[in-house]
Structure 1
Amino acid sequence: MSSEKPTLYTFVLLNRFTMMPFASAIEPLRLANRAAGRTLYEWRLVGPGGESATCSNGARLILDGGLDVEPRGHEFVIVCGGIEVAAEATKPVLAFLRRMARGAGGMGAFCTGAWVLAKAGLLDGRKATIHWEYHDGFAEEFPEVDLFRSVFVDDGNRITAAGGTSAIDLMLHLIAEDHGDPLATEVADQLLHTGIRTGQDDQRLSIPTRIGVRHPRLTEVIARMEANLEEPISPAQLAADAGMSTRQLERLFRRYLKRSPKRYYMETRLGRARKLLMQTELSIIEIALACGFSSPSHFSKCYRAQYGSTPYRERGTGSA
């Protein structure tokens, strides 16, 4: 985008959008203007209804307009999503995004906003990211999108940030592209953001940090489990590939995680299944197969043992 006139960011605030990524994006823009001593960036807030938007923490923001605003060529339109995002992908919202895409300089999304952007067909054949909690459901729902687990993705005129503070890293990246690294560094200093992440950085904490254990072989086995949920690998094969016996693998898991490798693997697969139940319209049998269960009945039995409810009842009473 041209640096001769201010770049406009239009934030589309969907109902129950997440505050953190929105604030993490707008503050770097404000600070860039302050550090430069001139207006490099402008922004406007729009959303359904055109009056106010309520975020997931209950706070309300006054909007600058509704879904009738016109696109501008020097503009990025950013969809800010949050909880129960599938319900926000209404026909008016999708029509608005498609219209804006025809006239704006670029489109983007924060957190679950990528779901709505994909539903509008605006991420087909493009690289993107979404919050890790929604990654599996998104991948099943939109196979035409080249999905990454990184904190943000810059695919030219399509930009996405996974949520939380990842929007800070994306905006610093864009500020550096627009006006140079020194300005981006100054903005980062003002934000006390000492570790600037790139598009290659993963969203989630490392496996050792997540499980609270630093053991190379245990980490290796868990990484293989997480990468093979649809076609589970037997404990014997996992042990052999890690250079140990099945008994050694059992002892390793029981010592550090207080459960067997089989139990840990099952809990991981069921966790993924639960996300797919809540976030997609996939059938129960499709979810069962996607999580390594040979039949819906076996899946239902294991699910009930873990969560105290069947997948069918969970979907009937749960929220997306």
Structure 2
Amino acid sequence: MHFDRGGQGPARFVFLLLDNFSHLSLTTALEALRQANKVLKFQQFSWALCGEGGVSKQSSLGFSAALDMGLEDLRPGDTLVVVGGVEVDAGSTDAVLAYLRRMARRGLPVGGLCTAAHTLAKAGLMVDRRATIHWENSESFAEIFDTVPLCDEFYVLEDGYFTTAGGTTAIDLMLALFTRALGGEVATGVAANMNYTNIHAIQRETRMTAAERESVRHPVVVKALNVMEREIEMPPTPSEIAEEVGISTRQLERLFKHHLGRSPKRYYNEFRVQKAYRLILQTDLTVIEIAMACGFSSASHFSKVFRQIHNCSPLSLRRERGAEGHVLAQMTGYRV
């Protein structure tokens, strides 16, 4: 991407706001652009907000953002940035998808923040292009878009397309854009002005493993959790897991009771059901497809285990997934 406008004014970023867009992703990207202008001491960048219909869009925090322009007001040289949010399909209407395809055909740089990789992939723009997305949505994305190579990076910037993993990773993306187009000094200045420490250089990955989510450090338990996570579609028995990590089944039972407070079987059922819960909320896969993806041999067995943990059936959750409580669950990752 190049930001030399040849005297035609600032390079403009146009942010296409989807319904309930990520407030954090938008504001951090905008602040990075503002700080770049401050570091450069002239207006290298400008920005505008657009969206489908109406005069404003509501953010994930409930604030309304006034739209500056309509969808068709983009001009040559603009960079189009789709800002997704909690509900990955919210705002991904046929009109928006067709619009994205038209802008891509015009040769405009197109990208997405937070969960917008889902919208870009749905528009057919990410086939055989690497993408990243917020870790809470990575499982559902991989199930739906199997032709899109999903990676664990904080951002992907390739071939005029870019995606981010949500949260503050919009800053990382903007710093990368500044470095490529304007040099490292500008990016360093922006990061300094924002008091931004790149914790991602330490963490390296956004996708937390089961062991990381459970804050478990015992090496054998970590190995067992990794086996469970890796083999979720064809789940091994506790004895098979114990054999793979080099201990007896009884030892595995004791370790899980001590470190996780429940048996390996109970933990694995909860782990698989939690993945299913996210897929029900985030995808339109059928219940049987979700059951198979989570290692259940039949819909009836899946429904039985699901009800034991959530006190409702997968079908009832699917019917209610638009309710406020389930949106909150999707945001936090916790059961309601």
Q: Summarize the Cα distance change of 1:187–1:239 in structure 2 as closer, same or farther, 3 Å threshold.
A: same
- Residue 25 (structure 1) aligned to one of 29, 42, 56: 29
Give the aligned residue type for 1:213: V
Identity of aligned residues (%): 44
- Residue 118 (structure 2) aligned to one of 109, 115, 119: 115
1:13 aligns with 17
2:89 aligns with 86
1:299 aligns with 302
In 1, are the aligned partners of 2:83 and 2:113 still within 8 Å (CA)?
yes
- Residue 130 (structure 1) aligned to one of 130, 133, 154: 133
In 1, are the aligned partners of 2:18 and 2:92 still within 8 Å (CA)?
no
Q: Summarize the Cα distance change of 1:15–1:43 in structure 2 as closer, same or farther, 3 Å threshold.
A: same
2:52 aligns with 48
Structure 1 residues 78-121: Cα deviation after superposition (integer angstroms, max 9, x where no partner): 11011333141112111211111122431111112111111111
Q: CA separation in 2, counterparts of 1:65 and 1:241?
A: 58
Q: How many residues get paired?
A: 318
Structure 1 residues 158-192: Cα deviation after superposition (integer angstroms, max 9, x where no partner): 10001111111111111111111122112111111
2:72 aligns with 68
Q: Gaps (5+ residues) in structure 2?
A: 328-336
In 1, are the aligned partners of 2:133 and 2:164 still within 8 Å (CA)?
yes
SS in 1 for 2:156: strand
Q: CA separation in 1, counterparts of 2:25 and 2:294?
A: 30
- Residue 146 (structure 1) aligned to one of 136, 149, 152: 149
**2:56 aligned with 1:59:** no
Structure 1 residue 205: Cα displacement: 4.5
In 1, are the aligned partners of 2:56 and 2:66 still within 8 Å (CA)?
yes
Q: CA separation in 2, counterparts of 1:290 and 1:75?
A: 40
Q: CA separation in 2, counterparts of 1:95 and 1:3?
A: 26
In 2, are the aligned partners of 1:136 and 1:276 still within 8 Å (CA)?
yes
Structure 1 residues 139-173: Cα deviation after superposition (integer angstroms, max 9, x where no partner): 11111111123221122211000111111111111
Q: Quote the RMSD (CA, aligned, Å).
A: 1.8
Q: Gaps (5+ residues) in structure 1?
A: none
Structure 1 residues 182-208: Cα deviation after superposition (integer angstroms, max 9, x where no partner): 22112111111112536x931144655
Q: CA separation in 2, counterparts of 1:209 and 1:83?
A: 23
**2:80 aligned with 1:77:** yes
Give the aligned residue type for 1:100: M
**2:253 aligned with 1:237:** no
Structure 1 residues 181-236: Cα deviation after superposition (integer angstroms, max 9, x where no partner): 122112111111112536x9311446554223322222222122122211112222
TM-score between both structures, scaled by the size of structure 1: 0.94
TM-score between both structures, scaled by the size of structure 2: 0.89
Runs of 4+ in 1 over 4 A off after TM superposition: 205-209
2:331 aligns with none
Q: CA separation in 2, counterparts of 1:110 and 1:183?
A: 22
In 2, are the aligned partners of 1:16 and 1:82 still within 8 Å (CA)?
yes
Give the aligned residue type for 2:145: F
SS in 2 for 1:145: coil
**2:268 aligned with 1:265:** yes
